[in-house]
Every structure is written in C-alpha cells, then in structure tokens.
Amino acid sequence: MATDADTHLLLRAFADELARCEVAGACTSPGSRSSPLMLALVAHDGIETWSHLDERVAGFFGLGLAKTTGRPAVLACTSGTAAAHYLPAVIEAHEAGVPLIVLTADRPPELRQVGAGQAIDQLKLYGDAVRWFFDVGTHDATPERGRWIRTLACRAAAVASGQTGGRPGPVHLNWALREPLIPPTALGDDPQPGRPDGQPWVRFDGPGSFALPDLHDAIAGRRGVIVAGRAADAAGAEIARLSQVLHWPLLADPLSDARTGRTAIAHYDALLRDAGLTDALGPEVVLRVGDLPTSKPLRQWLASLDVPQIAVGGPGGWADPDGRIGRVLPGGAVTALLDSAPVACDAAWLASWTSADQAAARAITATLGSDLSEPQIAAQLADRVPSEGTLVVASSMPVRDLETFAAARDAPPRILSNRGANGIDGTLATAFGVAAAHDGPVAVLLGDVAFAYDLSALICAKRHGQALAIVVLNNDGGGIFEFLPLSGIDRATFEEHVATPPGIDIADAARLYGCDHVLPADLPAFHAALDAALASDRTTIIEVRTERAANVALHREVWAAVSAAVSG
C-alpha cells in the first residue's frame, strides 16, 4: 500500500530525470490536485519554472520555450477543464513538430465517473495530437518503481524530441494523485537515486548522434552477453556474427532468427533457473536486440543484473518492464559494430557458457529419452523443419517449449509466433496466411485448446488449396495452466474454468475439413508423419496425445537434471 510520501518521492525522481534530460523549463498553473507536480518541479534546481494564471497562456508560453531552445518544455496543470485549455497549444505542437511534455493531474480511479468535483475523462484527452499518451497511476516508492519512473521521464523526453524515431511533438502523461497532496515533513530517501555521472537513466542515441568510439569504450574487452528477441532490427546472421567477434554468448529466442552458430546458448531458459550458475556467469554488460524473449527465468535474470544494459533498435515498442536499460542505440548499431572490428573479451568467458549449455543439452537429451512428450515434439520440429521452411508456434506452452528445448542450428527455419499480444487465437489462420505467401513448407505447433479455438480456419485448406503440417499436442486442456498453483487448490473448479478441456475428436475434425490425420505411436512414427506432411500438397494434422500432469513432472525433472549437470 502506497504511503503518503510515496507519490512525492516518485515525482521527485521524475523531476530529477527531466532535469538530466535537459528540458527547456516548466510552466505551472494554479490548482490543488496538481500541487505534487508543481512542488516537484519547483523544488529541482535544474528546472527553471514559470507560473501562469491560465493554462492556455502556459501552453503557448511553453511552445515558445521549446521552439526557441529545441528542447522539450514541460506543462503541468490541475484536473478538469484546466487540462482542456492546453489543447490549442498541443495541436500547434503536433502540427509544427515542437517537443512538449504535458503533465495533467487527475483524480485517482475511485473518484472517476462517480460525481466527484473537477473530474472529467482525461484519458487520451488530446487524441491523435500527441506522439504518446500514458496514464501513470499510483505506485509504491520501491527501487523497482523508482527505476520505472526514471525511465518514464526519459522516454517522455525522448519521444517528444523525436529521439525514438519519427517527428518531435507533444507527449501526454496523466497523473492520478491521491490526498494528502502536500508531502510529509520527513520525505525520506530516493528509492532509486539517479545515475552517479549525472546522465539520464536512459540515454537515446539517435541515428545522427550515434557515437561508435563511445560504444567501443562501453564494451571493449568486457565480459558481456547478447540477448536477441523477436523482430530484431538487425538480421539474425549479423547478431550471431557479432557475438562471435566479441566472444560473447548469444541468448537468442528462436523467434529472433539468431539462434545459430557456435556462440548460441540454446538452453538458457533451463540454465538460468540455477541460482549458483547465474551467480557464476554474471556479465559486465548486456546488449539487447529486439523484443525481450519469452523466457521468464531470462527476464528475471536481466532484471536482477546491476550492470549496463544497452538496447539496439526494436519493433517500435518498449521492452524493458524492469527499468534496466541505460542506453538505446539505433537499429544499425549491430552492423556498425561489425564493420568497426570491436575488441573481443577473453575466450574463457564464452567457454564457460558453452560448456554449461553442452552439459544442459546432455541432461535434457537423457531426461527426455525417446518418448513422445511435449518438449520432445518442440525440439524435433525445430530440428526437422527444413531451412527453407517456416514453423508457426502457438503463443502459449509451445513457444516456451521451443525456447527451452530447440537446439541451435547452422541454418534454422524461420520461426513465427503471435507474441505481440500473446494470445492463442488465430494460430491456424496465421499459419495459412504464411503458407499463402511462402513457397517453402510450413508447419504449425499448437495445443488442442488453440486448435479448437481456431478450428474454422481449417476451411482454408480446402478453399485455397493450401498445405500445412499441423502438429496438435492433445492433452485435453490448457496445459500451461497446469503449472499454476491454482491447479492444486480446487481441482474441479480448475478443470472446468481454467483447464477447459475441449473434448473434441481431432480425427473427426480432420475429416470434416478434408484434411489428412495421423496419430503416431512413437518417435520414429512421428518423424515419418512429419516428413510426409512437409512434403505433401495436402494439409495433414498430426495428433500427439500427452497428459498434462505428466508434462509438468517432466519439465521439473528436466530442470533438476540441468541444475545437477551444471553444478557438477
């Protein structure tokens, strides 16, 4: 529960970051709800403030500041129609490409739409006239939230300035503020002090400001890792080459197209579950390319590292929920680094990672054996779909198994998954769309719930004459939910409302839509069915029957075996 001091501590950190980002100054207007915003801005020696009687004048005054200096000007007002009076200046800034950071105080959620005074709907108040809108909410003043609030300030300044791509313009942050609106006498310490060198929490190197020698200084000879995720701006082959040049281990999500070459650490998801190993293999710097991978152990490990983390490009979103990124580089940074021959670190660093990965691979192979299990199927698909093919993976347990169990390949197939919103809906339809635009074979891996959800997409096989190799893991329910604590509390409720067994006959579904159906009894039979389906001109459904509880036990057995292997 947030204390009276928490909001003021976080606002003080936010104002500190605005100053580090060298904003042009701040314009305030009178009001009660905006008192915390005003006090934080006025109290900071690095922010010059101007008081205005009304918000329309304040908005255009700020516009003049920003136009003259070329740096973002900050506007801060109270809730209600005060925020609406900024609209003319916001529209002008939008049309003219002028950087503004608009901070509007708002009632907290419990005082919205209940008849509270001076409360209007301020969410996306300026519509498409702002480059970015964010409703800040209320938060505890923890170190994690401190990192987040500092990152928020840096992002606001960078987006307004056009440093993240696109044209400069206004940004709108809406602040829900609870009483008491005046800070306590003893405010306490900053939960997350700013960087000791006076630099912003996040530094953005745009295409015009990218300093290659400075980057060399940050990575030269250091023990680092490269983390590559979906939609990486750089080609997968370039990311792999850079890791080889630097002698850095490459932790690449299969969706990145970079899990290839001698530096690829295929089993990082299993390795990073071992606390002793994560302590022993702590890097001095992290280079992150593209989205965050799916792996929860990897995400937790990155959040725990108190070392410089540098991001390169990305698909346009912001992949840093823990506020650890300190520098953002343009998408061409990987190519620039390769062309400039950076200094590599000692080979022993990479060897420590690859030896652990090899030990993990042996432990996984021994534990899985030759049984038809869900991890085994994911590993086999990653290995047997040809290089010219595409593997579409459902965004649930299948994509996680692929990340954990797929080995690195010299020439892997393209791997796709709907990980933007992470839903299982539309997996089959997506795969048919891929097949329509792709000459090579297309395979899809999904569970029976995702299969049932998108069953009508199978009509594409007949109507459009498309061929897919569809592998359905039939465990009669949502297998990923079996890993949740809820699965062991109220089993009847869990089965009915969470696992939701579809109870469909997949062979009947195949006949209904004119698809071939195969039910392999063992691994050799699965290999034969997959190879035939990939070569066929018809859609084939390969049904692999598994059991949810056994799947959970197998995963835990694998993790224990990997931990024992790397400890030894």
pLDDT above 90: residue 75: yes
Structure tokens at 97: 């490409």
Which class does domain 205-350 fall in? alpha beta
Nearest to 469 by CA among 442, 446, 450, 439: 442
Poorest-pLDDT segment among 219-233, 306-320, 347-361: 306-320
Cβ-proximal residues to 57 (8 Å cutoff; 6+ apart), any chain: none
Mean pLDDT of 118-129: 91
Q: What percentage of the chain carries pLDDT values higher than 70?
A: 97
pLDDT above 80: residue 516: yes
pLDDT above 90: residue 29: yes
- Within 10 angstroms of residue 237's Cβ, the number of other Cβ atoms is 13
Half-sphere exposure of residue 105: CA atoms within 13 angstroms, side-chain side:
26
pLDDT above 70: residue 509: yes
CA dist 220 → 205, 344, 455 (Å): 18, 6, 52
Which class does domain 369-567 fall in? alpha beta
Query: Which residue carries 């905006």 as its tokens?
Result: 34
Indicate the average pLDDT of the chain.
92
Poorest-pLDDT segment among 187-196, 207-216, 293-302: 207-216
Say yes or no: do domains 6-186 and 369-567 share a fold. yes
Residue ranges covered by each domain of the chain: 6-186, 205-350, 369-567
Residue 116: pLDDT band by 50, 70, 90 thresholds? confident
Mean pLDDT of 324-336: 88
pLDDT above 90: residue 488: no
Q: Are 395 and 235 in contact (CB under 8 A)?
A: no
Residue 120: pLDDT band by 50, 70, 90 thresholds? confident
pLDDT above 70: residue 7: yes
pLDDT above 80: residue 2: no
**pLDDT at residue 317 in the model:** 66
Q: What angle do CA 192, 198, 202 make, to 5 degrees?
A: 65
**In this predicted model, what pLDDT tens digit does every residue of 225-265 receive, in sequence order?**
999 998 655 588 899 999 999 999 999 999 999 999 999 99
Q: How far is CA 96 from the centre of its chain?
A: 32
Give bridge partners of residue 30 from the DSSP assignment: none
**Who has greater pLDDT, 96 or 223?**
223
Structure tokens at 190: 């900053």
CA distance 80 to 84: 7
Residue type, 270: A
CA dist 270 → 133, 373, 547, 563 (Å): 38, 17, 22, 8
Burial tier of 210 (Cβ tally within 10 Å: 0-12, 13-18, 19+): middle
**Who has greater pLDDT, 42 or 5?**
42
Q: At what angle do helices 374-384 and 523-535 cross, to 10 degrees?
A: 40
Q: Are 265 and 354 in contact (CB under 8 A)?
A: yes
Q: Are 473 and 450 in contact (CB under 8 A)?
A: no
Residue 209: pLDDT band by 50, 70, 90 thresholds? low
**pLDDT at residue 21 in the model:** 97
Instruction: Evaluate the CA torsion angle 444, 448, 449, 454 in order and state its sign.
Output: positive
**pLDDT at residue 13 in the model:** 97
**pLDDT at residue 313 in the model:** 73
| Dihedral angle of Cα 455, 461, 464, 467, to the nearest 10 degrees | 130
pLDDT above 50: residue 315: no
**Who has greater pLDDT, 487 or 22?**
22
Mean pLDDT of 316-344: 85
Give bridge partners of residue 326 from the DSSP assignment: none
Residue 44: pLDDT band by 50, 70, 90 thresholds? very high
Q: At what angle do helices 397-405 and 374-384 cross, to 10 degrees?
A: 70
**pLDDT at residue 1 in the model:** 47
CA distance 50 to 44: 13
Cβ-proximal residues to 552 (8 Å cutoff; 6+ apart), any chain: 482, 483
Query: Which residue carries 């950087």 as its tokens?
Result: 99
pLDDT above 90: residue 490: no
Q: How far apart are the first and last CA of the chain?
A: 44
Half-sphere exposure of residue 60: CA atoms within 13 angstroms, side-chain side:
6
Structure tokens at 300: 């937790």
Identify the architecture of domain 6-186 in CATH.
Answer: 3-Layer(aba) Sandwich (3.40)
CA distance 319 to 305: 16
**pLDDT at residue 63 in the model:** 93
Give bridge partners of residue 542 from the DSSP assignment: 471, 518
Q: Are 113 and 154 in contact (CB under 8 A)?
A: no
pLDDT above 90: residue 423: no
pTM over 0.85: yes
φ, ψ of residue 252 in degrees (nearest 5): -115, 120
**In this predicted model, what pLDDT tens digit does every residue of 542-557 receive, in sequence order?**
999 999 999 999 999 9
**pLDDT at residue 403 in the model:** 96
Residue 318: pLDDT band by 50, 70, 90 thresholds? confident
Mean pLDDT of 424-431: 90
Q: Are 252 and 228 in contact (CB under 8 A)?
A: yes
Which runs of consecutive H residues, i.e. helices, occur in 313-447? 333-339, 347-368, 374-384, 397-405, 427-436
pLDDT above 60: residue 10: yes
Sequence length of the chain is 568
